[in-house]
Amino acid sequence: MRGIDTQVRRTRRRIFKEVADLAYHSDNLIDDVEALPYKIVDYDESQYQNIYRERAIVRERIRLAMGLSLRPENRPVHLTQGLEESNISEKYYEPPLMQVIPSACNACPENRYQVTDKCMGCVAHPCREVCPRGAISMQNGRSVIDQEKCVRCGKCKAVCPYDAISHQVRPCAGACGVGAIKNDEKGRAVIDNDLCVSCGQCMVNCPFGAIADKSQIFQLIRAMQSDRKIIAQVAPAFAGQFGPDVTPDMLKTALKELGFYDVYETALGADCGAMAEAEHYAKEVATGNLPFSLTSCCPSWAVLAKRFFPETIDKISNALTPMVATARIIKRDHPDAMVVFIGPCASKKLEASRRTIRSDVDFVITFEELAGIFEARGILPEQIQAADELDGATGAGRGYGVAGGVANAIEECVREYYPDVEVNIEHAESLSECKKMLMLAKAGKKNGCLIEGMACPGGCIAGAGTNISIPAAQKALDSFKNAAAKRIPDRE
């Protein structure tokens, strides 16, 4: 569904737009929030064939979009409870980040094999013959699977000559590489926060829009309405996200029209990271002091390593992530500024909130959320006349936005700065592949390697907060990378 303008995506965008509009124009916030579900959900056009259910879902989405938590199902909590605490011009975050809206969840089958109407009732009936538990019988000339006996081995599906057996997997669980999607007593999805690494892939794969993350757009707009200097940094994956004809310079001008004082490339921090990690590899891994090293720029990957493979903690690079490194560059240049990271990633919201490291990032919003703010203000990036220039980073730093790009940037820097060092590079994308890579590293199969991990299949261009298809984003990022004035940063 990535890149498809579905009803789920349209509803999310509409809610971001309306919440932003409230921040800009509401004189009576409580009453306007109460009225918003009726404005968003037209009486005659309910997608759920139940106007009351759809409005109930929208109410919860509004709360999440304002940074609030979902309301409990077993006790009365007013829609606007907590609103005053969130009506501030500073970062506001109530954990957890990712939440399932119970009323929106379809309680999809977790793991089930089912015979479809393509079954021809063949005489050979190989599906029945290979079933190890006798779960398949012939009824009215068609195969039928007894779900009580089925052990989900998949042998029937593999042997069917008509591809008549469907394997149904809950989409959110299928997209989660850490097994964080569980069931409640009604069979609806719930997220185990002890396992979740907040990558957001469950959210973008749920066809019912039942999973959402919290937003900081309301608080950001409040900050922009103050007298504070607000500076944005944009992740390199922004290329193409606001239209195929929107250039980096046009986006910078659009952001300044929105009210940002200035705009930096997050790829500047990526350049710093590539240099630091190249030095770390040459001095620690290549010399044998460490068996291998792990990149640190993807927060979900880093959390995965720390939580599930604690023996790798000392192998994770100490280099600042591009977001944090760029924030510190900005605050060095503008000590009085607030910094907003604009990117594709849900888990960056958590990284910016960590207390274990000073992130210097005041707000995090996604490309999807920014599109809602642009719409609320009537700003069309594709019609902007560029009056600014977004530059400064190298192709290496810009390449961080795609899977393999981090490893390639570090490899190029190692070969340039340390020509006598032989470099071995590995990369994994998706949490399931990242887990496999870490298991191999733990077993000593990746010694001498620099390992890049990306939680999202495709890298940052496939993040949960993106607007376009992954192939289109890949093409746009390649062009942005190739337009850089320099290939790699100069060695300091």
Same fold flag, 7-105+174-219 and 111-169: yes
| Domain at 111-169: CATH code | 3.30.70.20
Q: Hey, how many other C-beta atoms are within 10 angstroms of the C-beta on 114?
A: 15
Tell whether the model's pLDDT for residue 290 goes beyond 70: yes
Q: What is the pLDDT of residues 411-430, one digit of tens each?
A: 999 999 999 999 999 999 99
385 has pLDDT over 90: yes
pLDDT for the residue numbered 427 = 94
Note the CATH number of domain 228-482.
3.40.50
Given a cut of 90, whether residue 49 has pLDDT beyond it is no
Q: Strand, coil or helix: what is 169?
A: strand
> Cα(153)–Cα(140) distance, rounded to whole angstroms?
25
**Residue 46 pLDDT level (bands cut at 50, 70, 90):** low
pLDDT band for position 329 (50/70/90)?
very high
- Across the range 342-350, mean pLDDT stands at 94
Residue 305 contacts residue 294 (beta carbons within 8 Å): yes
Cβ-based neighbours of 280, under 8 Å, separated by 6 or more? 293, 317, 318, 319
Give 7-105+174-219's CATH code, choosing from 2.60.40.10, 3.30.70.20, 3.90.1150.10, 3.40.190.10.
3.30.70.20
The reported pLDDT for the residue numbered 37 is 95
Q: What is the pLDDT of residue 95?
A: 83
pLDDT classification of 356: cutoffs 50, 70, 90: low
* CB burial string 382-391: b at 16+ within 10 A, e below: eebeeebebe
Domain ranges of the chain: 7-105+174-219, 111-169, 228-482
**pLDDT bucket at 491, cuts 50 / 70 / 90:** confident
- What pLDDT shows up at residue 93? 75
Cis bond before residue 96 (omega within 30° of 0): yes
Please give the pLDDT value at position 400: 97
Tell me the two tokens of residue 42.
Answer: 């037209």
The CA-based angle 117-123-125, given to 5 degrees, is: 65
pLDDT score, position 47: 58
State yes or no: pLDDT of 21 exceeds 80.
yes
What's the mean per-residue pLDDT of the chain?
A: 94
Q: What is the pLDDT confidence band of residue 243, given thresholds at 50, 70 and 90? A: very high
Check residue 1 and give its pLDDT. Answer: 67
